[in-house]
Amino acid sequence: QVKLLQSGAALVKPGASVKMSCKASGYTFTDYWVSWVKQSHGKSLEWIGEIYPNSGATNFNEKFKGKATLTVDKSTSTAYMELSRLTSEDSAIYYCTRSDTLDYWGQGVMVTVSS
Amino acid sequence: DIQMTQSPPSLSASLGETVSIECRASEDIYSNLAWYQQKSGKSPQLLIYYASSLQDGVPSRFSGSGSGTQYSLKISGMQPEDEGVYYCLQGSKYPLTFGSGTKLEIK
């Protein structure tokens, strides 16, 4: 069965960066785009962007350009998202999900930005 | 960006009641509309895609309809496990955008 297993929660200082992972299993990793979605506390969902593992091609929400970097490691079927120059506004849960219908989701990574 | 206006923000329903949630897009999204259910502390789960296609494993009491800019999710016969927050998502144009959510509770 399709699974997306994300890395654990992170507590990071303002101004720092954080890199999280999303390990896919149960399907051919290179056949599907992987999207990343942000959910701030008690709020709705925001699409950050997506990456196509086969080519590394990306599409981004303009709001997150310069904030998020998406990469993949095809050898381990793992997608990564790095968030840079963190502020309190980046404190949220971040999900990876398989595109294009966002049909399978990881369990989410809680990122807390605090000094 | 395409704005997704979802209504109502919250809803309370009795067991067995039929419930409808609406999403209106700011422009035609050509049925590129999905519905998700999110239970407390869990990841969203896909219910409906392409406006009316039922995701595998989702109970048949869930159905979707609509076209153009207007879409709806119907739950025919509310069950206790249907409590949660429901979101619509448009996939017609980048960036993908979600509705603001509808919190559904048992009355």
Q: What is the pLDDT of residues A71-111, one digit of tens each?
A: 999 999 999 999 999 999 999 999 999 987 899 999 999 99
For A:65-94, CB contacts with B below 8 A are none
Instruction: List, in sequence order, every residue forming a beta bridge with A11; answer none if it has no partner.
Output: A112
Mean pLDDT across B66-79: 97
The HSE-up count of residue B81 (CA atoms within 13 Å, CB side) is 4
Instruction: List, in sequence order, every residue forming a beta bridge with A37; answer none if it has no partner.
Output: A47, A95
Mean pLDDT across A23-29: 97
pLDDT at A99: 82
DSSP output for A43-67: S-EEEEEEEETTTTEEEE-GGGTTT
- A45 and B CB contact within 8 Å: yes
Residue in chain B nearest A36 by alpha carbon? B96
pLDDT-derived band at A42 (thresholds 50, 70, 90) equals: confident
- B89 and A CB contact within 8 Å: yes
Q: B28-41 burial string, b = 16+ CB within 10 Å, else e?
A: ebbbbbbbbbbeee
CA distance A9 to A32: 25
